[in-house]
Structures are given as structure tokens and as C-alpha cells.
Amino acid sequence: MFEKLELTRMAQALAAQSGARMAVIAENVANADTPGYKAKDIPAFSEVYEDTGLEMRATRPGHLTAPSQSATPIPDTARGHESPNGNSVSLEAEMVKSVEARQNHDMALAIYRATSDVIRASLGRSR
């Protein structure tokens, strides 16, 4: 029932993107002292969610379904200054990115909870 609502689909995609971004940030922090390591990042959710790519042509009704919004975006090399050993990880920047990712994840969960509460209330059920 919830997967048919656009709002819950969007919240699920935001939570998945935030989780993937936290994994990339953790990898960057783990490699902060690795010579030649280039920091990575995932594109902003607004860019990823709206980018559906080329549409495929259906040969019959029901042949194709809508593209999955929960696909994990591919990390890209982040721009930044390099240290003398070629490493481009800035721990301060990674901390800021991790806070942004956490806030996005918390927002996605809050949206999902609020939507669940509204649907339960409309069905006459309480928590």
C-alpha cells in the first residue's frame, strides 16, 4: 500500500541515497591518509531523483515499468585540494557532508512516519 504513494517512494529514495552517501563518506575518511586517494561523493538527491535518463519504448501495455528510484547512484570523484602526497580527502569537509547526509536521512524517516500516521488515522487505527 505504501509503495504506491509518490511521497513514500520519494522518502524511501532519499533514505537510500543518504545511506549510500554515508558509506562513501566513511570510505573517504578511512582513506584519509592513503597516498594518491581521491575523495568521492554522490550527487545531490535532487539531481539523482529527477534524472530518469532515456525512456524505453514499450512494445505492449504493461511491458515496461517505471524506472526504479531506489537505485544507488555511482560515486564520483569529488573536487578539492590535494595534499602533497596526492590525497584529496578533507576531514572537515567529510564531517560537514556526513551531517548533511544524516539530516536528509532523518527527514526521510520523519516523512515516512508522518505519512504512516496519516494513513493509520484515515483508517481509524491508532499506533
**Digit-coded pLDDT (tens) for 4-52:** 678 888 899 999 999 999 999 999 999 999 999 999 999 888 887 764 4
Query: In whole angstroms, what is the distance from residue 47 CA to residue 50 CA?
Result: 6
- The values of phi and psi at residue 24, to 5°, are -70, -40
Query: In whole angstroms, what is the distance from residue 33 CA to residue 38 CA?
Result: 11
Model confidence, pTM? 0.71
Residue bearing cell 529527477:
50
Residue bearing cell 494513513:
119
**Digit-coded pLDDT (tens) for 103-127:** 999 999 999 999 988 888 888 876 6
Report domain extents, the chain.
2-122
